Amino acid sequence: MRRFAIALFFALAGGFPALAAPVHGIAMHGTPALPANYTSFPYVNPNVKKGGGITYGVVGTFDSLNAFILKSMRTTARGIWDPGFGNLIYESLMTRSSDEPFTLYGLLAESVEMDDQRKWIQFNLNPKAKWSDGQPVTPDDVIFSFELLRDKGRIPFSTRLDAVEKMEKVGDHGIRFTFNDKADREFPLILAYGTPILPKHAIDPATFDQTSLKPPVGSGPYRVKSVSPGERIVYERDPNYWGKDIPSKVGFDNYDRITIEYFLQDNSLFEAFKKGEVAIYPDGSPTHWATAYDFPAVRNGDVVKDTFTPKLPTGMLGFVFNTRRPIFKDGNVRAGLALAFDFEWANRNLFENAYTRTQSFWQNSDLSSLGRPADVRELALLSKMKANVEPDVLDGSYRVPTTDASGADRKVLRKSVDLLKKGGYAIRNGKMVDARGRQLAFEVMTQSQDQEKLAIAYQRTLRLIGVEMAIRTVDDAQYQARSGNFDYDMIVKSYPSSLSPGIEQMGRWGSTSRDRDGSFNFAGTASPDLDKMIETMMTVRSAEDFTASVRAYDRLLISGHYLVPLYHVADQWVAQRSYIGYPEKLPLYGYQLNTWWDKRAQ
């Protein structure tokens, strides 16, 4: 009691942060949906019988088991640190619920303490947490992980401590982070969820920045059983996994064995799925989904097709302009080129009208600006930025023009030519040229047959207005290397959107990520307006202000014409072997593969 009174006195006097009661979870906005005594997430089967195995298939290759360095950023074996298949080897301090916009619950840390202003956070490690070699997970491991990743890791891991004033141990199991003025309200959650905790006793810092195929020591539910570089990695369940009974892990990690097979092309992967060599095939092509499943395993019930409809914003898929290239500096040029893509023709002729045009980065959600005039909150946030938001985007009337699906809609192409004229181009002798007579020409880099088909359709329409677009389809390794160092004019990329956008937006659109190799700023943006709105999104406290800031940010992105918007499907399509089971409840974010199981183990 006396200790509390002294602490309260100093807190009120400004000596050190006020004490905060330990809690089981933290939410970006509001409070966690689940109580402290929750027993499992609502979208798992808590009574599932574990066992059996699963074989996943992926397109690509791998040459490393280190997911945290630049050299193997895109060539690390799947599963090591993997939100899709589950973080099989390494874990974070807390884990995310897929049924809430952005809420974290205890994992390596069984509880957390944080002040109301989020100027500091303390993680209290679960005393039961252990590494796969039996050693305990300690505060020293946490401090080691953040410092090692700062010194030798890739972004974003290397920047985690930029907003940290100090790290310190608190007792036997606590680690407190005190933040500097670079931190925002999302930052404590990023620390908790977005950083792997590594074993200090099992890692040599001197060689950490080198690729390695040595099976790592982790705290996760699986261990690496075997590795065939570039071809296959096999994981086996750790029978002594420390966390199998904690609430946030009940119903997860249900296979005894997980195999991930690598393929050079998606066609090869699908053939392997048809033969039963791969158990699950997520399908993103409406044409393929509608026409490719007339084979024996489907007819006899060995393969099942399922459709899931998450409650997520659409995100954005598009041909992305690399604005580092001088030809794409002018927004009018980008806008004019974007108009020339005939979505209606492509949708009818290539996709059997299965797609919907995407016109907002948060379409189909309350965070979208589409069809909504900017309200008082938004106008206040945009302030002087309004000059950079197109009037129809600001008043909610903006729509991407609809063509007649001919592939040569004169009315839309005329608008395209007018915009290019504003950007300094004109048609002469059938070519779109600048004042010096140089033709507007560029190259799009693609990596799949579907992307190439889209590019050919786009190429044909651009030629009608004198623009020359070359198409270069490359293999996965070259695609990853060139996209990592921004060696392209145009590229096809997807920008998934969540219901709680935050710091990842700085990595996609922020000035600080523009010139960092390996960042996701594929468009090369460096806009003070975008930077300011990202900062606003991460600092507002009420749900209403957060919604307003995302909508304002959406308007800035739309008005910037940084890409040619393509399309989306609201559903998730998955074909799987009939022996694979999954929970009845679909969470907010859609199906979760790490909650599925092998029914043959029942």
Domains in the chain, ordered, with CATH?
A: 222-311+571-601 (3.40.190.10), 316-568 (3.10.105.10)
Long-range pairs, 450-457, Cβ under 8 A, ≥24: 450/285, 451/492, 453/350, 454/319, 454/346, 454/350, 454/492, 454/566, 455/319, 455/492, 457/341, 457/342, 457/345, 457/346, 457/349, 457/350, 457/407
Query: Which is nearest to 67 in space by CA: 49, 88, 41?
Result: 88
Does the pLDDT of residue 264 top 60, yes or no?
Answer: yes
Residue 14 reports pLDDT greater than 70: no
More confident site: 178 or 12: 178
User: Which string of DSSP letters, residue by residue, matches 458-485?
Assistant: HHHHHHHTT-EEEEEE--HHHHHHHHHT
The structure's pTM equals: 0.76
The per-residue pLDDT for 569 is: 87
Are 467 and 337 spatial neighbours (Cβ–Cβ below 8 Å)?
yes
Average pLDDT on 207-211 reads: 93
What pLDDT sits at residue 8?
Answer: 39
Band of residue 284 on the pLDDT scale cut at 50, 70, 90? confident
The total of other beta-carbon atoms located within 10 Å of residue 600's CB is 13
Provide the pLDDT confidence category of residue 354 given band limits of 50, 70 and 90.
confident
The pLDDT of residue 166 is above 70: yes
> Mean pLDDT throughout 546-550?
95
In whole angstroms, give the CA distance from residue 418 to residue 412: 10
Residues contacting residue 301 through CB under 8 Å, at least 6 positions apart: 578
DSSP strand pairing (222-228 vs 232-237): antiparallel
At 184 the pLDDT is 86
pLDDT for the residue 20: 75
Question: What value does the mean pLDDT take over residues 22-48?
Answer: 95
Q: pLDDT, tens digit, for every residue of 471-512?
A: 999 988 899 899 999 999 999 999 999 898 988 999 999 999
pLDDT level of residue 307 (50, 70, 90 thresholds): very high
How much of the chain exceeds pLDDT 70, in percent?
Answer: 97
For residue 246, how many other CB atoms are within 10 A of its CB?
18
pLDDT at 27: 92
On the question of pLDDT at 75 being above 90, the answer is no
For the ranges 66-75, 93-102, 228-237, 554-563, which has the lowest average pLDDT?
Answer: 66-75
Residue written as token pair 């030798």: 152
**Residue 4 pLDDT:** 39
Quickly count: other Cβ atoms within 10 Å of residue 429's Cβ.
8
pLDDT in tens, 409-447: 999 999 999 999 999 999 999 999 999 999 999 999 999
Q: Which residue has the higher pLDDT, 533 or 449?
A: 533
Cα 367 to Cα 361: distance, rounded to the nearest angstrom? 9
Contact between 122 and 26 under an 8 Å Cβ cutoff? The reply is no
pLDDT digits (tens, 9 = 90+) for 169-208: 999 999 999 999 999 888 999 999 999 999 999 999 999 9
Q: 3-state class of 260 per DSSP?
A: strand
Helix (H, G, I), strand (E, B) or coil at 430: coil
Place of tokens 């070519």: 431
Q: Judge contact between 390 and 399, C-beta under 8 A.
A: no
Among residues 313, 401, 403, 228, the alpha carbon closest in space to that of 589 is found at 313
Residue by residue, what is the 3-state secondary structure of 481-548? HHHHCCCCCEEEEEECCCCCCCCHHHHHHCHHHCCCCCCCCCCCCCCHHHHHHHHHHHHCCCHHHHHH
- Cβ atoms of 140 and 156 within 8 Å: the answer is no
Contacts of residue 240, Cβ cutoff 8 Å, sequence gap at least 6:
130, 132, 134
Query: Which tokens sit at 504?
Result: 């990842």
282 prior amide bond cis, ω within 30: no
Q: Helices 449-464 & 343-350, crossing angle to 10 degrees?
A: 140
- Confidence at residue 204, expressed as pLDDT on a 0 to 100 scale: 96
* Two structure tokens written together for 309: 């409809």
Q: How confident is the model at residue 19 (pLDDT cuts 50, 70, 90)?
A: low
Q: What angle do CA 390, 392, 395 make, to 5 degrees?
A: 110
- The HSE-up count of residue 553 (CA atoms within 13 Å, CB side) is 26
> If you average pLDDT over every residue of the chain, what do you get?
93
What number is the average pLDDT over the span 128-132? 98
